[in-house]
Amino acid sequence: MWFKNVHAFRLLEPFSKDDFEQKLLENQIRPCGKIERMTFGWAAPMGGEEMPLVVVSQDKLLISAKKIEKLLPTTVVKEHALERIAEIEADQDRKVGAREKRAIMEEMTLTLLPKAFTKSSRINAYIDVGLGLLIIDTSSTAKAEELTVLLRQTLGQLKIKSIEVNDSIRHHLTRWLVEDAPPQDFYLERDCEIQDPRAEKTKIKCSNLDLPNKEIEGLIEKGTEVIQLGLTWSDRLSFIVDENLVLRKLEFLDLVQDQVDDAAAETDEERFMADFTIFSSEIEAMLPLLYTGLGGLVPLENAQEERVEDALPA
């Protein structure tokens, strides 16, 4: 399991490992009931019913949230409802009214749900106790919130905050590109996205482009700003960072892959543990340097708790 994204939240209080797995067990994923559309709970990161719900490597705790959803398209429900409406109108020689049609739609939904196929998806994350971060493998704000809501409900409370730095992220990303001067040990890659703050719906995405670039620099001189930038760190890890400090398209390079080869893991479980230990250690080493290059993290005493609606999405 190699993370492809880093969507990080800062822990505002020291994280307690006490009874952590037991609390996850109390909120473990279960199959959908006959008339349930979705269930959401914790699953074993390694897969398998007998595997632990928490994988521990040093001071890092890997967890996995699983969602099971019923596949019941509205078009299918509507088709069956229309057939039922036609039967009523033919048998009883009357028109079915709007309220009765809604009731028939609801009835058909309840009738068809037990027969619906299901699909499952996962959101993986780990808690880095040393860094005081919750790191989620998603670039989606909605999915990150789903996991944080579930974790908060599981633990009773979870005081977290999105990563905030002291300076303007757009300013730094723009300067790094124009001056070809990212922080030490970081290098420009070939991807960027720029936006004119006076016309926020207009964005220009550039891929596979040598940076710095004169055309991009010309647009920046006219007021556009960099909102995404591709970087490589120390020839070990490449990614795209955006103005919200979400990292996506993580790729662990040859120096890291050599560590994997040297790990000499023999079983699937050993390989899983080696992968998790190696990639999380790389992220642990890189993130503080990136945050420092962006002006440093806002002091913890100034960070305010971030809450999302305490309800799982329907």
The overall pTM is greater than 0.75: yes
- Is 21 within 8 Å of 52 (Cβ atoms)? yes
> CB under 8 Å, gap of 24 or more: what pairs does 111-115 form?
111/80, 112/72, 112/76, 112/77, 112/80, 113/34, 113/35, 113/36, 113/37, 113/70, 113/72, 114/34, 114/35
57's tokens: 């490597």
Which strand (E) or helix (H) includes residue 206?
strand 199-206
- What is the C-alpha to C-alpha distance for residues 45 and 164, in angstroms, rounded to an integer? 29
CA 238 distance to own-chain centroid: 18
- What is the C-alpha to C-alpha distance for residues 216 and 239, in angstroms, rounded to an integer? 20
- What is the C-alpha to C-alpha distance for residues 169 and 241, in angstroms, rounded to an integer? 10
Instruction: Give the residue extent of every domain in the chain.
Output: 7-32+40-68+122-158, 74-114, 169-296
Please list the pLDDT of the chain residue by residue as tens digits (314 residues).
799 999 999 999 999 888 999 999 999 999 999 999 999 999 999 988 789 999 999 999 999 999 999 998 999 989 999 999 999 989 998 999 999 999 999 999 999 988 899 999 999 999 999 999 999 999 999 999 999 999 999 999 899 999 999 999 999 999 999 999 999 999 999 999 999 888 877 889 988 888 888 888 898 988 999 999 999 999 999 999 999 999 999 999 999 989 988 887 789 899 999 999 999 999 999 999 999 999 999 998 766 666 554 444 44
